Amino acid sequence: MTNQETARAMKSHHAQMAKELNDLVLAISTSEAAWESARNAVASYLREQVLPHAAAEESTVYRVGAKEESLKALIDSMLFEHTIIKGVAERIESSKGRDESLILAAEAAKLFEVHAEKENRFIIDFLEPRNDVDLGAVLGDMHQLLAH
Ligand SMILES: [Fe+2]
Ligand SMILES: [Fe+2]
């Protein structure tokens, strides 16, 4: 895959995760009686999709990005945001009541959306035109980590 194709695939995966997460969050507000299972679905999605994705990019995309002096501070802040998202995920799991769950879940979805958009605009778009970066290989490494 060319860097351009890989960048597109990475961004569309971010968009897909943001949408799926958002839909699950909305289910908490619409399913009056079943809010607990809707809350559990949000928590599971964060634990099974979003957090493994974050962990995999830490040792792939972020590692490549951190080699660039100008991206170092940004990568640090992105790592920090991963810990914030993880913290919110834990609070969702132990949340009591529909209102609290909904507030935390909406927080997680917005945090993820903004975080992913920062990756798109400031990391992926930065690396994509570089001749010395093979984004396809980086994505391949990410998939390998997620498969294990
Ligand atoms: Fe990330
Ligand atoms: Fe990401």
pLDDT, tens only, 44-70: 999 999 999 999 999 999 999 999 999
Whether the per-residue pLDDT at 32 is higher than 90: the answer is no
Q: From ligand 1's centre to the CA of 102, what distance in Å?
A: 23
Domain count, the chain: 1
Ligand number with the minimum distance to the CA of 14? 2
Give distance in angstroms: CA of 116 to centre of ligand 1.
6
Domain holding 34, by residue range, is 3-147
Structure tokens given for 107: 């927080």
The whole-model pTM stands at 0.95
Q: Give the model's confidence band at 13: pLDDT under 50 very low, under 70 low, under 90 confident, else very high.
A: very high
- Write the CATH number for 122: 1.20.120.520
Which among 133, 16, 17 is positioned nearest to 71, based on CA atoms?
A: 133
* Closest ligand (CA of 55): 1
User: How much is the pLDDT for 64?
Assistant: 97
Give 129's DSSP letter.
T
From CA 108, how far away is CA 88, in angstroms rounded?
6
CA of 90 to the centre of ligand 1 (A): 17
CA distance 144 to 29: 36
Q: Which residues of 40-67 are buried (b: 16+ CB within 10 A; e: fewer)?
A: ebbbebbeeebeebbebbbebbbebbbe
- Cα–Cα distance for residue pair 75/87, rounded to 1 Å: 19
CA of 96 to the centre of ligand 1 (A): 28
